[in-house]
Amino acid sequence: MPTTHTNTHAKAGMIARLNHPDYDRWASQIRATGGCRQPIHLRGKIEHYDRATGALLHRYTTKHEPDGILRVPCKTRRATRCPACAETYRADTYHLIRAGLIGGKGVPDTVTAHPTLFVTLTAPSFGAVHTRREHGGSVQPCHARRNAGTCPHGQVMSCTTRHSADDPRLGEPLCPDCYDYTGSVLFNALAPLLWKRFADSVRRHLAKAGGLALKNLRHHLTLSFAKVAEYQRRGVVHLHAVIRLDGPGGPAMPPPAWATADTLTQAVQHAARAVTATAPAHKDQSERAFRWGSQLDIRPITLTGDLTEQAVAGYIAKYATKAAECVGTLDRRINPLDNLDAFNLRDHPKRLIAECMRLGALPELTELRLTNWAHMLGFRGHFSTRSRRYSTTLGALRAARQHHTRDTDITTGRLPLFDEDTILVISEWQYAGKGHSAGDQLLAAAITGTRLERSPHEL
Ligand SMILES: [Zn+2]
Ligand SMILES: [Zn+2]
Ligand SMILES: [Zn+2]
């Protein structure tokens, strides 16, 4: 659509909204969504009845709202889709991770005495990529090799460039034709299984250290964790995890005396080396086992040491709102019929996506669901997950916050806090769409002071 046309259209929409008699009500809905860029539209009603008499005490319906709908925040965690909601998600994740480290939000502060590690599990190499190396404050050449060989495609396997931090070539292979695209996407697809096997192996090692049968471990000790996936620029995931030892009841109980930070460190070291996940054989590759990369980072989290609880919580929360888009892929599903050339991607992410589509079509690899997760370069796990007893939950944080927001006021019409024993609440809601019209988008940004830009793929 030509820009001038869009602008005229947006302006007309904006003027119509401003002149509408229910503008104030619309604006108050927009403020209540906290600047959400793509609010969910709900149609429905909520009614409060006196349980004793059956009398209707209060009724709210969206019929009288602007456009007959209530707008509520989309609650995405992805900053590329909605910066406002992603910021809420990031802040909640931060508090949740931090509570698991120092207490708060229902977690006793005695948790600080539990052995806790910050562990980074890396991906192996799938070929040489352009890298920015810093040493003593100066940027080093990327891949300086004296007598560097030439690959079968005629590419000299050396790069003496001192890459700047925003060089788009960073993470891209020296020779794309040599690069193991198959391995890269299969590793991403198997990373969730590799994590599960890693956690199981840590538990087995701990049980052995405590002289216990694995099935009895849970009566003595809980392995609590919170993890997040981070995409490397080359398009593979690394996992960062807070791993903590608790007593059988979770963070409120101390772990047994034998379960020390050293025992946990040994268990993690052992498990990270030992576990494998196997991709089934397919037409051009036999069965292939994947394991974590040789780089393993294990650091204790302490209140006074070099790795503080704020740093860890900040780190995990930051990655929790990012996905693969930082590698230059798309932030939405890709249809097998889509023409990849039309998306204006760089060659590297395009090849990773194409490899997902190619492998995804092979019957032997169906269960890896690579076609569905091509935009994630094969990774279909949850970005940010926690074991049940890590700390409080996002749901609990949201519920606590919603008690204080205007959402409640809008739907209940400022009904005073009611007693659920005496009042019956009946609500019916229907999804009625999503997002803003072009004119509303401009006005909403002005009202909530949020930035306007949309991700390139939404335009
Ligand atoms: Zn939103
Ligand atoms: Zn380079
Ligand atoms: Zn080559």
pLDDT of residue 418: 60
CA of 216 to the centre of ligand 2 (A): 52
Query: What is the CA(367)–ligand 1 centre distance, in A?
Result: 32
For the CA of 88, the nearest ligand? 1
- State residue 451's pLDDT score: 60
Q: Residues of 59-69 as b/e, b for ≥16 C-beta within 10 angstroms? A: ebebeebbbeb
The DSSP code for 193 is H
The confidence score (pLDDT) of residue 6 equals: 61
> Given a cut of 60, is residue 458 above it in pLDDT?
no
Q: How far is the CA of 166 from the centre of ligand 3 (A)?
A: 25
Mean per-residue pLDDT for 284-303? 91
Contact 380, 386 (CB under 8 A): no
Residue 324 is predicted with a pLDDT of: 77
| Gap from CA of 180 to ligand 2 centroid (Å) | 18
- The residue count of the chain comes to 459
Q: From ligand 1's centre to the CA of 36, what distance in Å? A: 4
What is the distance in A from the centroid of ligand 3 to the CA of 249? 55
CA of 229 to the centre of ligand 1 (A): 22
| CA–centroid distance, residue 331 to ligand 1 (Å) | 15
Query: How far is the centre of ligand 3, averaged over its atoms, from the C-alpha of 344 (Å)?
Result: 24
Ligand 3 centroid to Cα of residue 156, in Å, is 8
CA of 127 to the centre of ligand 3 (A): 10
Q: How many CB atoms lie within 10 A of CB 396?
A: 14
Distance CA 57, CA 99 (A): 40
Q: What is the dihedral of CA 176, 177, 179, 180, to 10 degrees?
A: 140
pLDDT band at 452 (very low <50, low <70, confident <90, very high): low
d(CA 420, CA 75): 27
> What whole-number distance in Å separates Cα of residue 7 and Cα of residue 228?
40
Tell me the average pLDDT of the chain: 88
Distance 449 CA to ligand 1 centre (A): 14
DSSP state for residue 43 in the 8-state scheme: E
Q: Which of 99-103, 392-396, 428-432 has the lowest mean pLDDT?
A: 392-396
Q: What is the pLDDT of residue 411?
A: 53
Q: Please tell me the distance between residue 153's alpha carbon and the centre of ligand 3 in angstroms.
A: 4
For residue 238, the tally of other CB atoms under 10 A from its CB is: 19
Tell me the sheet residues that pair with 349. Answer: none
β-strand partners of 134: 139
Q: What are the residue boundaries of the structural domains of the chain, listed by start?
A: 2-77+420-458, 108-126+180-390, 129-179
| Distance between Cα 171 and ligand 2 center (Å) | 9
**pLDDT tens, 304-329?**
777 888 889 998 898 888 877 778 88
Give the confidence band of 410 by pLDDT, cuts at 50, 70, 90.
very low
**Per-chain residues with Cβ under 5 A from ion ligand 3:** 151, 153, 155, 175, 177-178
Q: Separation of 233 CA from ligand 3 center, angstroms?
A: 20
State the ligand closest to the CA atom of 149.
3
pLDDT tens-digit profile of 158-213? 999 999 999 999 999 999 999 999 999 999 999 999 999 999 999 999 999 999 99
AA letter at 402 = Q
For residue 436, give the ligand nearest its CA: 1
The protein residues having their C-beta less than 5 angstroms from ligand 1 (an ion) are 36, 73-74, 82, 85
First to last CA, the chain: 9
Percent of the chain past pLDDT 70, that is, above it, reads: 92
Whole-number Å distance, alpha carbon 230 to ligand 3 midpoint, is: 27
Residue 405 pLDDT > 60: no
pLDDT in tens, 239-262: 999 999 999 989 999 999 999 999
Mean pLDDT across the stretch 277-287? 92
pLDDT band for position 80 (50/70/90)?
A: confident
d(CA 348, ligand 3 centre) in Å: 14
226: helix, strand or coil = strand
Ligand sitting nearest the alpha carbon of 180: 3
CA of 77 to the centre of ligand 1 (A): 9
- Tens-digit pLDDT profile for residues 143-155: 988 888 899 999 9
Average pLDDT, stretch 9-38? 89
How many angstroms separate the alpha carbon of residue 38 from the centre of ligand 1?
5
CA of 138 to the centre of ligand 3 (A): 30
Taking the centre of ligand 2 as the mean of its atom positions, its distance from the CA of residue 164, in whole angstroms, is 10
C-alpha of residue 162 to centroid of ligand 2, in Å: 7
Q: Would you state the structure tokens that stand for residue 364, as one six-digit string?
A: 């032997």
Burial (CB < 10 A; 0-12, 13-18, 19+), residue 310, is: middle
Query: Under a CB-based contact definition with an 8 Å cutoff, are residues 126 and 256 in contact?
Result: no
State in Å: Cα 158 to ligand 2 middle.
8
Whether the predicted pLDDT of 4 surpasses 60:
no
Percentage of the chain with pLDDT > 90? 54
> Helix, strand, or coil here: 345?
coil
CA of 1 to the centre of ligand 1 (A): 25
Residue carrying the six token digits 């690069």: 179
Cα of 237 vs centre of ligand 2, distance in Å, is 21
